[in-house]
Amino acid sequence: MRKIFKDIKKILQAGDTFLITTHINPDGDGIGSAFAMDYLLKMLGKKTVIVCQDSVPHDFAFFGKEWIQYKEGIEIPSFHYVVVLDAPSLQRIGTVGKLIANTSNIINIDHHISNQSFGKWNIVDPHASSCSEILYTLFQEMNVSITQEVASFLYVAISTDTGSFRYQNITPMTHTIVAELIRTGVDVSALNEQLYSQVPVGKVKLFALLMNKVQLTCDGTIAWSVLTNEELAATGAQLSDADGFVNVLRDIEKVKIAFMVSNVQNPSVIKASLRSKGKYDVNTLAGSFNGGGHAKAAGCTIKGTVDEVVKKIIHKAKEQVVQE
Ligand code: 5GP
Ligand code: MN
């Protein structure tokens, strides 16, 4: 691991222009990592541009930062290197994949177990709680000190990817890093209020709607809910407002595998978000539909109607929960 950090250090020092990107439907880790990487490169005197298929969701507007939302045809400043953060495959960066198709100078920094090592340089550590945990080490390696602003990016990333420090991906190192972040003087309580206590009313209404549609099968061990385009429009919420609802399903007593499906982005290609607890593995489950993620949080897209997709996922989930 140390050698790859040294190699990346040389590349970051040698390059002049960098494009930074992260996965579609960006989460706290993707967003925090992108802003932290941008800061790191700027401190090294580099020209940077952050580009992502999707805009920064309003949950993270409190950072007061934006990036370029990429649509084909948009002019982007030229770049020689690409840094891909928190994405297990190039498919996961959506339209930005086309933008970078002609460069092989890709630095892939990630913590997904399903990472395809698609970069010329890859720092992939499935034992890291988050991509930002790896970036913390990179800051140290590069001798760039962490300001309160950078600490807020990294803290939010680590906090959100660990379910507020509850998940299995937590290690002593995670807490050591977070202790160092707090030492910068960053106001963790204010950050947590921004993160968890500024919920738009549309999101609460959307959760209420989804709560009312919760379904259970297999003696209550599999839970799911469905979000349709029409329902989303009716609540006035955004698609990113549904993020996190699948965790509510997972937290139901007795539930082993939970999932949420939606046809919002594409009526014939259903997006599924999967969660599990205990020994159950949704990375493998999502993998059987060409998706992936982590053992207890994964996703995939499946062609078909909502009903067909729900049936397919339940069928696969049953293979795990009915075994004992
Ligand atoms: P979420 O359910 O929050 O969208 O995603 C949970 C986890 O699964 C994240 O780590 C995310 O990167 C991964 N993930 C979500 N959707 C997909 C997908 O379509 N393909 C792959 N490979 N991973 C996904
Ligand atoms: Mn992550």
Nearest CA to ligand 1 atom 13: 293
Q: Using an 8 Å Cβ cutoff, are 168 and 295 in contact? A: yes
Q: Are residues 216 and 314 in the same domain?
A: yes
Q: Are residues 121 and 254 in the same domain?
A: no
- Ligand 1 centroid to Cα of residue 13, in Å, is 32
CATH classification of the domain holding 161? 3.90.1640.10
- Ligand 1 centroid to Cα of residue 312, in Å, is 18
Nearest CA to ligand 1 atom 8: 298
Q: What is the pTM of this model?
A: 0.92
CATH classification of the domain holding 312? 3.10.310.30
Judged by its nearest atom, the ligand closest to the C-alpha of residue 301 is 1
Q: Are residues 192 and 212 in the same domain?
A: no
Q: Are residues 302 and 166 in the same domain?
A: no
Identify the band that residue 240 occupies on the pLDDT scale cut at 50, 70 and 90: confident
pLDDT at 285 over 70: yes
Identify the band that residue 266 occupies on the pLDDT scale cut at 50, 70 and 90: confident
In the structure, which protein residues have their CB atom closer than 6 angstroms to any atom of ligand 1? 23, 25, 88-89, 92, 114, 273, 291-294, 297-301
Nearest CA to ligand 1 atom 23: 292
pLDDT at 307 over 60: yes
Most ligand 1 atoms within 8 A of CB, residue of 283, 300, 302, 309 to mutate: 300
Q: Are residues 105 and 236 in the same domain?
A: no
Nearest CA to ligand 1 atom 15: 299
- Ligand 1 centroid to Cα of residue 205, in Å, is 24
Q: Are residues 131 and 220 in the same domain?
A: no
pLDDT score, position 267:
86
pLDDT at 36 over 60: yes
Residue 103 CA to residue 114 CA, distance in Å, equals 23
Identify the band that residue 322 occupies on the pLDDT scale cut at 50, 70 and 90: confident
Judged by its nearest atom, the ligand closest to the C-alpha of residue 57 is 1
What digits encode the pLDDT tens for the residues 159-212?
999 999 999 899 999 999 999 999 999 999 999 999 999 999 999 999 999 999
For 82, the domain range is 2-196
Q: What is the CA radius of gyration of the chain?
A: 20
Identify the band that residue 238 occupies on the pLDDT scale cut at 50, 70 and 90: confident
pLDDT score, position 324:
57
Domain count, the chain: 2
Q: Are residues 191 and 211 in the same domain?
A: no
pLDDT score, position 177:
98
Q: Are residues 217 and 191 in the same domain?
A: no
What digits encode the pLDDT tens for the residues 243-264?
899 999 999 999 999 999 999 9
Ligand 1: nearest atom to the Cα of 87: 12
Identify the band that residue 323 occupies on the pLDDT scale cut at 50, 70 and 90: low
- Ligand 1 centroid to Cα of residue 184, in Å, is 32
- Ligand 1 centroid to Cα of residue 259, in Å, is 12
Residue 153 CA to residue 151 CA, distance in Å, equals 5
pLDDT score, position 292:
92
Last residue of a domain, one of 196, 224, 245: 196
Closest CA to 135 of 116, 117, 119, 158: 158
Identify the band that residue 2 occupies on the pLDDT scale cut at 50, 70 and 90: confident
Q: Are residues 174 and 316 in the same domain?
A: no
Angle among Cα 248, 250, 256 to the nearest 5 degrees reads 165
Q: Are residues 187 and 212 in the same domain?
A: no
Cβ-in-10-Å burial (0-12, 13-18, 19+) of 262 comes to buried
Q: Are residues 113 and 210 in the same domain?
A: no
Q: Are residues 39 and 105 in the same domain?
A: yes
Question: Any idea of the CA torsion for 157, 160, 166, 167, to the nearest 10 degrees?
Answer: -80
DSSP code per residue over 164-197: TTTSTT--HHHHHHHHHHHHTT--HHHHHHHHHS
Joined together, the tokens standing for residue 48 give: 């940077």
Last residue of a domain, one of 170, 196, 222: 196
What digits encode the pLDDT tens for the residues 65-104?
999 999 988 999 999 999 999 999 999 999 999 999 999 9
Last residue of a domain, one of 196, 224, 256: 196
- Ligand 1 centroid to Cα of residue 15, in Å, is 31
- Ligand 1 centroid to Cα of residue 302, in Å, is 13
Nearest CA to ligand 1 atom 7: 298
Most ligand 1 atoms within 8 A of CB, residue of 92, 130, 271, 284 to mutate: 92
Closest CA to 49 of 26, 69, 64: 69
CA atoms within 13 A on the CB side of 307: 0
